[in-house]
Amino acid sequence: MSVNKAIKLVVIGRGLIGAAAARHLSKMGHDVALIGPNEPADYSRHNGVFGSHYDEGRITRSFDSDPFWRHVNCAAISRYGEISAESGMEFYREVGVLHVGPGENRDVASVGKIAVEAGILCEAYDDTALAERFPFLRSTAGMQGYFEPRNAGYISPRRLVRAQTIAAERAGARIIDEPALGISESGSGVTIRTRSGSVEAERVLVAAGGHTQSLLGQSLGFTVYARTAAMFRLGAAEVERLAGMPSMRCVGPKGENPYILPPIPYPDGQTWLKLGGDPVDLPLESEADIKDWFQSGGSIHVADGLQKQILDRIRDLKFEERRVVPCMTTFSDKGLPSIGPLSERVAVAFGCYGKSAKCSDELGRLAGMALLGEVRAELAR
């Protein structure tokens, strides 16, 4: 595949941020192509790129202790309905989010304070009230909870990417279903190399998650870490018992601060309860490391710890099977994503600390604006 006429804008990375950027840019009337492969059918035999959005459950909420993340959360959530309408695909369930932890923990107390200051509806519960309102909790002694009932719950990141892609295509974007293998910039444009040929572009946004730095051939100050999540298959009785369960964000020290998703139906026809909160920072320093990690199936040791966490937090939980799931996240010491230009023709959008699924539509919009030359000051490199 060789494209003779340069496409004005190309987005590399058909994940959460890239698909969102393509939708926004296409709706603005730009000539856009979105490059990226579909989800691999078999991780163990896959030799291409991997993504962390191959899942049905990510917590979404307005609350965050940082003003930037609060803003992008609220902006993205306000457009969930728009994305569903444009694509014909549902991806969001408003089941609420419970922030819970020891009452003496400062971070727990700050949830209520920040929520009031930010105008986010949060219901406060002490230990006794927690037990009454959320009877599935195993122990609430000495605990404090804050419950976000609106604009909170969970999304399917897999379905959100599909929705964004459909909406972008309907707005005029061209979808190129294969990975980008490399890019080279010249004075007249950017060439993107793929397996079937090359694509010429005037400008390129690289939003390739943990693959971004290796695709660019340079470090941008972020480290890619391996992460493990654990999933527990529930029978019909447990699904019914936990029917009113919200998403949960457990506040505490590292290793005792899991996030927990309520029972969610998956494409295999089964219902799974999922949690993460991997306390092990395992750097993935190359493409080979990333491939080996995803093909490994994740850490059994971390999954054992997560299983103890879920049994400690959900009363009398009975599950029929456990699944271990590999994932990856990108971190730096900035606390903010990297969204902005690398050069006159190439911009990047990645580095989201495991926070991007819920707010990816706004991050994608900011990335699209950065490609066009408008960058928020706090995100400028």
pLDDT band at 21, cuts 50/70/90? very high
Among 93, 95, 152, 103, residue whose Cα is nearest residue 124:
103
**pTM score of the predicted model:** 0.95
The pLDDT of residue 3: 46
Could you give the 3-state DSSP secondary structure of residue 259? strand
pLDDT band at 54, cuts 50/70/90? confident
Residues near 346 by beta carbon (within 8 Å), at least 6 away in sequence? 183, 185, 190, 203, 204, 205, 206, 216
List the beta strands (DSSP E) in 83-173.
92-93, 97-102, 123-125, 143-148, 153-155
Q: Which residue type does 154 have?
A: Y
Give residue-wise pLDDT tens across range 290-300.
Answer: 999 999 999 99
The pLDDT of residue 50: 80
Tokens of 285: 């320093």
Give residue-wise pLDDT tens across range 267-284.
Answer: 999 999 999 999 999 999
Tokens of 229: 């999540």
Could you give the 3-state DSSP secondary structure of residue 302? helix
Integer CA distances (angstroms), 104 to 64, 75, 126, 143, 254, in order: 19, 32, 11, 8, 16
d(CA 20, CA 155): 15
* pLDDT over threshold 70, residue 380: no
The pLDDT of residue 1: 47
Give residue-wise pLDDT tens across range 228-265.
Answer: 999 999 999 999 999 999 999 999 999 899 999 999 99
pLDDT band at 46, cuts 50/70/90? low
The rounded mean pLDDT for the chain is 94
Mean pLDDT calculated for residue range 31-51: 82
Any idea what DSSP says for residue 255?
Answer: T
Residue, of 53 and 308, whose pLDDT is higher: 308
pLDDT band at 13, cuts 50/70/90? very high
Residues near 213 by beta carbon (within 8 Å), at least 6 away in sequence? 219, 220, 222, 224
The pLDDT of residue 185: 94
Give residue-wise pLDDT tens across range 189-213.
Answer: 999 999 999 999 999 999 999 999 9
